[in-house]
Structure 1
Amino acid sequence: MAFQYPPQLDSSSRVPARRVGGIARRIHGWTWQAFPIGMGTGAVYVTMSGLHDRSQTLRTVETVFFFINIALFILNVSTLALQAILYPRQAKRLVTDSTKNIFIPLVVLSFATLIIGTINYGVGAGVVERGLIYVLFWIYVSLALFVSFPVLMIWYNKPHDIRTMTPAWAFLIFPMMLVGVVAFNVLRTMDVSDTRAVGVLFVGYFFQGIGFFVTLFYICIYFLRIMMVGFSPLLFMDGHQANGAFVAAGPPGFTALALINLGKRAREILPQHDLVSENAGEIWYAVSILCAIMLFGLAIFLVVFGALPYWFKLHKHLNEILGCWALTFPNVGWIATIGALGDVLNIPGFFELQVFFVIVIAALWLVLFALTITAFRRGLILYAKEEDVIEDTASWRGEKGGA
C-alpha cells in the first residue's frame, strides 16, 4: 500500500472557513452617508418650529423628532468610531475616497440641527442654560472650520470631471454656510445689550457670506455641466445623482432665511451698541429683506429645475435610498423663508403655503424612513460584504492572504 506524506487535504479542510457576524458587517459597512437620515429627521422639527401658529400637540411631535435625531446622531458617531478602531483601513477609505468623503461634513450639519433643537425645546423649557448655547455656537464654528478645510484639501488634491459634477459636492462647504442659521437661533437666547451678541451677529454674517458664495460657485459649475452635456439621459444627473439636484436649492434658501433673521437682530443690536451708524440697524434689515427675496426666488427656481426631470432620472432601487434623503433637509431653508416673508410682508397666504410644505416634508420623512428601514433589514445599505470584512480584519492583524 502506498502512502502519501504529507496527506493531501481538501482546501476547505486546510483552512477553516471564517464567518463574519452581522454586527461586524454593519460596523464595517457604515458610512458618513448615514447622517442625512438624522438631518432629514431634523428637517421635520426645524420646519415645524417655524410655523406661525403651533399647538402644544405640535410641539410634542417636534420634541419626539428631536429625540429621534439625538439617537440617530449618537448611533452614527459611535458606529463610525468603532469602525475607525476595528477597521482602520475602511475608515481611511471613507476619508480619502472623493466619492465618499463629501459626506463627512454632514456630521457638523447634524450637530447644527441638534443645537437648534436644544434652543427650541431645551432653553424654552428651562432645561438648558442660555450660557451653554453660546458655548455650543463656538463649538459649531470650530467644527465647521476643522472639518470642512481638511476635507476640502483632500478632495481638491485630485482632479474631478465637470461632466460628472453634482451639487452634492457643495456639502464640503455647507457647515460654514449654515453658521448664519445657527447664529440667529443662538441670538434668540441672548440679550441684545450683551456685547457677546455683537460677535455672534458678525460671525454669522461673515460665515454665511463665505458659505453662500463658495456654494454659488458650485451651482455655477452645475449649470456649466448642463450646458456641456445637456439633458442627455446617459449623462445628466442619472440615478442617485438625481437627488443631488435638490441640494442646489439649499444655499440660497438657507441664506435667505439667515439674512432675514440676522437683519432682525441687527436692527436691535447695532443701535444698542452704537455701531456703524445711527441708522445702520434699519438699513441692514431692509437690505437683508431685499437680498432674501431675490435668493428665495433662486431657491424656488432650483427646486423646480431639479423636480421636473426627477422621477424619470431616479433609479427605483432600495440600495440607493440614502441618497433620497436629499429631498428633505436642503428644502428646509426656502420653506422656512416662506413663513419669514409672510411675517415681514404681512401676507397671511404665505403661512398656509408654509403649512402645506411642512406637511409634505413630514410625509416624505415617513415614506423615506419606512423604505430605509426596509433596505436596512434586507442588508441593502450600511452592510459590508463578508470577504471585505475578512480582508480588512486580516490586514489589521498583520495576517497574509486573508487567513
Structure 2
Amino acid sequence: MPTVTLGPGAPYELNTPRRQYRQRIGALARRIHGWTWQAFPIGMGTSAVYVTMSGLKQRSSTMIAVETIFFFLNFALFLLNTSTLALQAVLYPRQAKRLVTDPTKNIFVPLVVLSFATLIIGTINYAVVPGLMDPSIVYGLFWVYVTLSIGVSFPLLVIWFWKPHDIKTFTPAWAFLIFPMMLVGVVAFNVLKTMDPADNRAVGVLFLGYFFQGIGFFVTMFYICIYFLRIMMTGFMDGHQARPSFVACGPPGFTALALINLGKRARDILPAHGLVSQSAGEVWFSASVVTALMLFGLAIFLVVFGALPYWFKLHKHLNEILGCWALTFPNVGWISTIGALSDVLSIPGLADVQVIFVIMIGFLWLILFTLTIVAFKRGLILCAKDEVVIKDMEEDMEKKEKEGMV
C-alpha cells in the first residue's frame, strides 16, 4: 500500500477504490492549517506597549531599552505570522482561500497592514531617531503602507459587501476592513518627525495624512453608528461577540491623536511653502486641537460603554483568548492623546494619568500573553483538528486527479 506525504508530518494512504487517510496528522501540519489572520492582534497588542510608552514625556534609557525589546518581539511575531500563512497558502490552498474570501473570516486580513504600521512607527522611534537608519527609507515605507492600505481594504470591502449581513450579528470588528486607511494619518505624523518642513515631500505626506485619516474615520463612524443600532435592538453583545467591544474606541482615539500631531506639523510645513495663507498653519493646528478634544471625549465614552458590561457578558474560555487582544491596541489612540493634550493644553496632571494607563497596558499585555501561551500549548488556538486537515487533503487530491495531475 503506497504512502504519500502532503505537508509536514501529514502522511496518507492510497486505497482502491477509495482513499483513506491515516487518522494521524503531524502537529506542525495542524498548526499551519489552523493558523489564522486573527493571530496578528498578538503582535499589535505587543506594539501597544512600546507605542504608548514612546508617547510618555519623560523616558529613561531603561524604558527605551524595554520599548526596543517589545519592538523586536513584535517584529518576530510579524515574521512568524506572515511566514506561517505563506506556508498555509502553499500547502493548504483551500484553507488559505477560505480565510480570505469568507466574509466572516476575512475581516482579520487587514490586521497584517495594521501590524506593518506599528513596525514603521517602531522603526522611526528606535532606528531613524537614534540615527541608525536613513530617514529617506521611512518616506519609502510610508508609500508602501499607503499602497497596502488601499490594495487590501478595497478588495476586501467588495468581497464583504457582496453578500448581505444580519445587523443582529454585527460587531465593531467588522470595521477592521477600513482600519488601514484610518491609520495613515498616524503613520504620516510619525514620518513627518523625520522630515524637514521645507522639504516638498513633507507637503504630500501631510495632505495624504489628513485625506486618508478623514476617509478612515468617517467610514468607521458609520460602523460605530451601526454598533449602537445593533445594541439597541439586541442589548449588549454577549459571549464571543463581546470581545471586540473596545474596537469601537479605536477610530476616534487614533483620529484625535493624528489630528493633534498633524496640526503641529502643519504649523511649520504650510508657512514654509506659502500654502493657503500666512496663518493657515496656526488655523489648521487650532481646528485640529478642538476636533481632537471632542473625538477624545467620544473615545472615552466608548471605552467606558464597552467596559461596564464586558466582564459579565464575556465568555471566559481560553479558546477565545485571541479576541481578547482587542483590549490592547484599540486603546493606544486615546491613551497617547492624553499625553498630546497635556502638552497642548498645558495640563501636567494629564501626563500622570497617561502614565497610569501605560502601566495598565503593560500589565494587560503580560496577562494576555501568558494566557495565549497556555491556550497555544493546549492546542486550543491556531491548531486545526485532524479531520479538518484530512478533508482538505482529500479534496485537493480529488481536484488534482480530475486535472490529470495524479
Q: TM-score, normalised by structure 2?
A: 0.93
Any unmatched runs of 5+ in structure 2?
1-15, 402-406
Report what 1:166 is aligned to. 171
Report what 1:64 is aligned to. 69
Report what 1:7 is aligned to. none
Cα distance change, pair 399–109 in 1 and its aligned pair in 2 (3 A)? closer
Which one of the candidate residues 51, 56, 60 is aligned to 1:55? 60
Say yes or no: does 1:285 pair with 2:290: no
Say yes or no: does 1:334 pair with 2:339: no
Report what 2:309 is aligned to. 309
Separation in 2, partners of 1:77, 1:302:
32
Match runs of 1:112-151 below 5 Å: 112-151=117-156
- Match of 1:240, SS? helix
Separation in 1, partners of 2:175, 2:187:
19
Separation in 2, partners of 1:393, 1:93:
14
Separation in 1, partners of 2:267, 2:393:
59
Separation in 1, partners of 2:242, 2:22:
41
Letter in 1 for 2:248: A
Kindly indicate whether the alpha-carbon contact (under 8 Å) linking 2:53 and 2:67 is maintained by their aligned counterparts in 1: yes
Map Cα deviations across residues 9-49 of structure 1 (whole Å, 9 max, x no partner): xx9xx957352100000000000000000000000000000
Separation in 2, partners of 1:55, 1:305:
35
C-alpha RMSD of the superposition: 1.8
Shift of 1:163: 1.2
Report what 2:379 is aligned to. 379
Map Cα deviations across residues 175-232 of structure 1 (whole Å, 9 max, x no partner): 0000000000000000001000000000000000000000000000111112222x2x
Q: Which moved more, 1:350-359 or 1:120-129?
A: 120-129
Shift of 1:123: 0.6
Letter in 2 for 1:298: L
Map Cα deviations across residues 260-289 of structure 1 (whole Å, 9 max, x no partner): 000000000000000001110000000000
Shift of 1:125: 2.5
Report what 2:112 is aligned to. 107
Kindly indicate whether the alpha-carbon contact (under 8 Å) linking 1:240 and 1:324 is maintained by their aligned counterparts in 2: no
Any unmatched runs of 5+ in structure 1?
1-10
- Match of 1:374, SS? helix
Cα distance change, pair 282–29 in 1 and its aligned pair in 2 (3 A)? same
Kindly indicate whether the alpha-carbon contact (under 8 Å) linking 1:394 and 1:400 is maintained by their aligned counterparts in 2: no
Letter in 2 for 1:277: S
Separation in 2, partners of 1:15, 1:112:
46
Report what 2:254 is aligned to. 254
Report what 2:194 is aligned to. 189
Separation in 2, partners of 1:110, 1:40:
10
Cα distance change, pair 33–281 in 1 and its aligned pair in 2 (3 A)? same
Deviation beyond 6 Å, 4+ runs, structure 1: none
Report what 1:78 is aligned to. 83
Kindly indicate whether the alpha-carbon contact (under 8 Å) linking 2:21 and 2:390 is maintained by their aligned counterparts in 1: no
Separation in 1, partners of 2:338, 2:28:
44
Map Cα deviations across residues 90-125 of structure 1 (whole Å, 9 max, x no partner): 011101111110000000000000000000001122
Kindly indicate whether the alpha-carbon contact (under 8 Å) linking 2:129 and 2:194 is maintained by their aligned counterparts in 1: no
Shift of 1:126: 2.0
Separation in 1, partners of 2:141, 2:396:
37
- Match of 2:239, SS? coil
Map Cα deviations across residues 144-185 of structure 1 (whole Å, 9 max, x no partner): 000000000000011001111111110000000000000000
Report what 2:26 is aligned to. 21
Separation in 1, partners of 2:161, 2:297:
31
| Bigger radius of gyration among the two | 1
Cα distance change, pair 118–16 in 1 and its aligned pair in 2 (3 A)? closer
Kindly indicate whether the alpha-carbon contact (under 8 Å) linking 1:40 and 1:328 is maintained by their aligned counterparts in 2: yes
Separation in 1, partners of 2:194, 2:130:
12
Separation in 1, partners of 2:288, 2:90:
47
Shift of 1:397: 2.7
Q: Which moved more, 1:16-25 or 1:141-150?
A: 16-25
Separation in 1, partners of 2:164, 2:37:
22
- Match of 2:130, SS? coil
Shift of 1:392: 1.1
Aligned residues: 387
Kindly indicate whether the alpha-carbon contact (under 8 Å) linking 2:231 and 2:237 is maintained by their aligned counterparts in 1: no
